[in-house]
Amino acid sequence: MIFNVNFLIFVGVVILSFIILNFITKNAVKLKLIDKPNHRSSHSEPTPRGGGLIIMIGLIAGLIVFWLTGQIDFSPVQFIAYLSVILSMTALGVISDIVYIPIVLRLLCQFFIAAIAVFLLPVADLLVLGPLSLNGIWLALIFIVWIVANVNFFNFMDGLDGYAGFQTLIVCCLLLYLGYTTGSALIVSTVSIIIISLIIFLNSNLKSKIFLGDVGSYTLSFILILLSLFHPSFIIPVILAFSWFLFDATITLLRRIISGQAWFQSHRTHFYQRANIIGYSHQQISFTFLIFYLIFAGLGAAYFHTPNPMLIFLSVLICCCIACFIKTKEKQLLSNKISSN
């Protein structure tokens, strides 16, 4: 019986995802969901955005059915809170896709949504990192800041066809494994629906027909980080799976702050953007990093079973090697230009 219900849910998600995809691509101009190229863009043609709605609408509908059929062990209050924070972040993303929201107001909204999630949902109440033990209000505050930081880091890194979509897909697969291993029906249900809708989205995204938009980058990163906080043993594995996104976003942000640049303004100085500038295509970059995403997720899975700090060191080392490779290619290109002149 449960198998039949789940099969119908997933079929419904597929159908709904295609309907929303078709609706957005055909009505993007009317909906004001058009991404017009600017100095930060890695594309040259106006393209529909708001593709995250393809995933979010199917997710909300699917989760409601899962809960009503008793497959998600959340009280009514917890489930309503879970849906509410997802819907709130989705709404913030949609508004941001349509009109400009000042950075301070945007951050305040993100902090408020993150705080509601942390205080109303069953996130970990104790985190042990070696000799350091965190709990209570301090842990809650760290979780809130961590959620908001990752929402914005993910948004920074969403700039090439398939690039952020592949990262989301791999993190979802890791969470699916972790959720299945620990018997977390909520995590399994959530990421299963996301994976199905995401594959449909990626089919069009890789052809530059639609972008995630802020609604996608905000909400997907919010959900994945939030789910990782439900179990203390999930936090580091998910961080490892996000290794490259965290490395690129952090190094670039620090470099811009130290150099006195306006770090909060749009730019094209992330490593992945620099790789695109020196000649690598969207597909070359995204599919190459898909391999690295798989490696980082593998390190995350390994850490889940055997918490070894060397796995964290290895992920940082790989990130450094990637960054050095891109930097070397930049220097070679500059040298060739100077020689040709």
- Would you state the pLDDT for residue 7? 84
How do residues 7-49 score in pLDDT, each as one tens digit?
Answer: 888 899 999 999 999 999 988 888 888 877 766 666 667 888 8
262 pLDDT higher than 80:
no
Tokens encoding 255: 């470099």
Phi, psi of 50 (to 5 degrees): 90, 15
Q: What pTM value is reported for the model?
A: 0.93
Strand bridging mode 132-135 / 34-35: unpaired
Whether the predicted pLDDT of 160 surpasses 60: yes
Looking at residue 291, what is its pLDDT?
Answer: 97
The arithmetic mean of pLDDT across residues 162-176, rounded, is 97
Q: How large is the C-alpha radius of gyration of the chain?
A: 20
pLDDT for the residue numbered 16: 93
User: Tell me, what's the pLDDT at 166?
Assistant: 97
* Exposed / middle / buried, residue 267 (Cβ in 10 Å: 0-12, 13-18, 19+): middle
pLDDT at 256 over 60: yes
Q: Where are the domains of the chain?
A: 2-340
Q: Are 211 and 35 spatial neighbours (Cβ–Cβ below 8 Å)?
A: yes
Q: Is the predicted pLDDT of residue 283 greater than 80, yes or no? A: yes
Confidence band for 286, pLDDT divided at 50, 70 and 90: very high
Query: Per-residue pLDDT averaged across 237-253, rounded?
Result: 96
Mean of the per-residue pLDDT values for the chain? 91
Q: In this structure, what DSSP letter does residue 225 have?
A: H
CA atoms of 288 and 299, how far apart (whole Å): 17
Position 1 pLDDT exceeds 70: no
- Per-residue pLDDT, averaged over 192-198, amounts to 96
pLDDT at 337: 72
Other CB atoms within 10 Å distance of the CB of residue 15: 11
User: Which residues have CB under 8 Å from 298's CB, separation 6+?
Assistant: none
Of residues 50 and 86, more confidence is placed in 86
Helices 309-340 and 282-305: angle between axes, nearest 10 degrees: 160
pLDDT bucket at 142, cuts 50 / 70 / 90: very high
Return d(Cα 238, Cα 300) in angstroms, integer. 6
pLDDT of amino acid 260 = 80
Q: Which residue has the higher pLDDT, 27 or 109?
A: 109
With vertex at residue 144, the alpha carbon angle to CA 138 and CA 147, rounded to the nearest 5 degrees, is 140
Q: How far is 195 from 199, CA to CA, in rounded Å? A: 6
CB 299 within 8 A of CB 290: no
Higher pLDDT, 259 or 228: 228
Q: What average pLDDT does the segment 118-146 reach?
A: 89
Segment 322-330 mean pLDDT: 93
